[in-house]
Structure 1
Amino acid sequence: MLHHVVGVFTHPKKEWETVRDEQCNLKDCYLKHVLLLAAIAPISLFIGASQVGWTIVGKTHLLTISSTLPMAIGFYLSSLIGVYIMGRAIHWMATTFDAEVSLEKSVLIATTIATPLFLSGIIVIIPVVWLIMLVGMVASGYTVYLMYTGIPIVLNIEPERGFILASGVLTVGLVTMVGVLVTTVILWGMGFGPQHA
């Protein structure tokens, strides 16, 4: 797993060729890649919100452990489900472009694409809104770059068709993110939101 993490930042096109040639089943894909990477942001969120605290207008606000833990667990589960949904979307869309790709490979593609987002989650341990937004924007931009460069390489399709497929995957990703946000708002409205310590 570590070689993919380093590779997507140091030599992304070559790393995509490695991803294309890698074989893994769905269980191994999750065990080797997704479970660990997806845990970075929720653990950081838990520590940042319950131990460090958010500083707003000169006052530090800590959240209770009892409200932060379910948020972190929900964040982790939504990340795991989101990677699977994105993998399914890549697999489904690839068939319309006559690309031969397994569901396992599609999940690996989704995980590799999401690596910058997963790693950027470490910044939530320092709950400073402007810093989190800045790091999130940079990570999102690099994620989109990885998506547009990697999909044509791994699926062995022309760059033009890869652009169209990647645009479809990006759309699914945005819709998935909105779905997670709406679910969060509904749950918080039902009383499952954060509570101050």
Structure 2
Amino acid sequence: MLLSHAFGLFSHPDQEWASIRKEHETPTRLYITYVVILAAIAPICAYISTAHFGWEVGADRLIKLTEISAVQLSVLTYLAMLVGVFALGYAINWMARTYGAKEEHVPSNGIALAAYSCTPLFLAGFALLYPEPWFNAIVFLAAACYGAWLMFDGLPIVMGIEKEQAELYGVSLLTVALVILVSTRAGSAILWNVGFAPAFVSG
């Protein structure tokens, strides 16, 4: 089962990457049975915490999002995560030939590498049940660092290239990931200006 890889990537990543390469799952199946499920963790947890728990501002003032606003922002976040994983997987496949890997007509390995490297970020979504900005920032920063390490570790195994080439490849992919992140932030700002801005209520 594809979800079993999520735990293997934390306990024995090298063996797990080798297993993922052998599976060579189609992007569609990988998305439906892995990305669609794990990417939903953060939006669901964020909806629960922001709409029902809220967070304190100042002297015991509880702030929440309205139900509609929480749903809107959670759905948009979910869609952004799905698009981001696909874009990163596409970039991995698109740059493959440049760094000595085989470019695939159907980017199975590229999408798999992107999806499984994002596993720590997917699971970090559980931290959103505790809506404290400093706590969430620490958890997601740690998850991002481990996700980046997973990508560097998995590149030579999944894409079948030398480690020296994989290092340059990985740096390029981290740059792409940062561009995707900045693009989603810019997209959020645009959407907030066209009617999707968060709506707050006092709890």
Q: State TM-score, norm by structure 2.
A: 0.94
Alpha-carbon distance in structure 2 between the residues aligned to 1:52 and 1:101: 47
Structure 1: segments with no counterpart, 5+ residues: none
Alpha-carbon distance in structure 2 between the residues aligned to 1:2 and 1:55: 36
Alpha-carbon distance in structure 2 between the residues aligned to 1:21 and 1:143: 21
Alpha-carbon distance in structure 2 between the residues aligned to 1:5 and 1:34: 11
Partner secondary structure for residue 62 of structure 2 = strand
Aligned to 1:23: 24
* Further displaced range: 56-65 or 130-139: 56-65
Aligned to 1:187: 191
Alpha-carbon distance in structure 1 between the residues aligned to 2:17 and 2:25: 15
Aligned to 2:42: 41
Task: Give the superposition deviation at 1:55.
Answer: 1.8
Contact 1:101–1:155 (8 Å) recurs in 2:
no
Aligned to 2:72: 70
Aligned to 1:133: 137
Task: Give the superposition deviation at 1:2.
Answer: 2.3
Q: 1:1-197, aligned counterparts within 5 Å?
A: 1-57=2-58, 58-102=60-104, 103-197=107-201
Alpha-carbon distance in structure 1 between the residues aligned to 2:171 and 2:38: 24
Task: Give the superposition deviation at 1:23.
Answer: 2.3
Structure 2: segments with no counterpart, 5+ residues: none
Figure out how many residues of one structure are paired with residues of the other and give that number: 197
Task: Give the superposition deviation at 1:98.
Answer: 3.0
Alpha-carbon distance in structure 2 between the residues aligned to 1:166 and 1:156: 13
RMSD: 1.1
Alpha-carbon distance in structure 1 between the residues aligned to 2:110 and 2:155: 10
Contact 2:94–2:103 (8 Å) recurs in 1:
no
Task: Give the superposition deviation at 1:101.
Answer: 4.8
Partner secondary structure for residue 84 of structure 2 = helix
Alpha-carbon distance in structure 1 between the residues aligned to 2:146 and 2:69: 32
Q: State TM-score, norm by structure 1.
A: 0.96
Task: Give the superposition deviation at 1:191.
Answer: 2.9
Query: Which structure has the highest helix share of the two?
Result: 1
Identity of aligned residues (%): 36
